[in-house]
Chain A
Amino acid sequence: MADVLDEIQREIRENKVVLYMKGTPSFPMCGFSAATVKVLREIGVPFKAVDVLAEPEKREAIKVHSSWPTIPQLYVSGKFVGGCDIVREMHGRGELAPLIRAAVEAA
């Protein structure tokens, strides 16, 4: 698990916005992952998607990394933002777009 945790650390360090999800943005395999992709597309920022179904070890490691039991999981600037419910709630309040844009625009 240590290697996979290192890989996760690298992914969230090297990419401003990372979504750990089931399936891919074009073919999400779960309604919660699909809903989270939809929010990110509405905000209109590029993001790295990681399909945990293709990497079973990472599926477990990401839960340990964030102390969060479910997928999807959104990371912005290396920080865990939340799962689908939180992403939708923050988006509804207009709080998510500024957070993500600030991260993407920061050098």
Chain B
Amino acid sequence: MVSPDDIRRRIETALPGARVEVADTTGAGDHFEVQVAAPGFAGKGLVEQHQLVYGALGTLMQEIHALSLRTSVS
């Protein structure tokens, strides 16, 4: 089971200055909604922005059944 804090910490570590909001949508630790605003997204397309977040989550992604992601430049 993954906690929202696990997700937040991984993203904050990989993307300096990121503002991260994580909601566990079922309370079961496997469906999440994540919003990330990061300065590092500037000049990048949505695909690259999402890839940066997936990369930050790394092996956690295998434990997460569903992750809905919104990214923006901060």
Name A's B-contacting residues (CB within 8 A): 31-32, 67-70, 80-86, 89-90
Contacts and interface: CB of A to CB of B under 8 A. Distances in A.
17 contacts: A31-B66, A32-B66, A32-B68, A67-B51, A68-B47, A68-B50, A68-B54, A69-B54, A70-B61, A80-B47, A82-B46, A82-B50, A85-B50, A85-B68, A85-B70, A89-B46, A89-B70
Interface of B: 46-47, 50-51, 54, 61, 66-70
A68 B53 CA distance: 11
Contacts of A70: 54, 61, 67
Contacts of B61: 69-70
Contacts of A67: 51
A49 B64 CA distance: 25
A86 B47 contact: yes
A67 B50 CA distance: 11
A67 B61 CA distance: 13
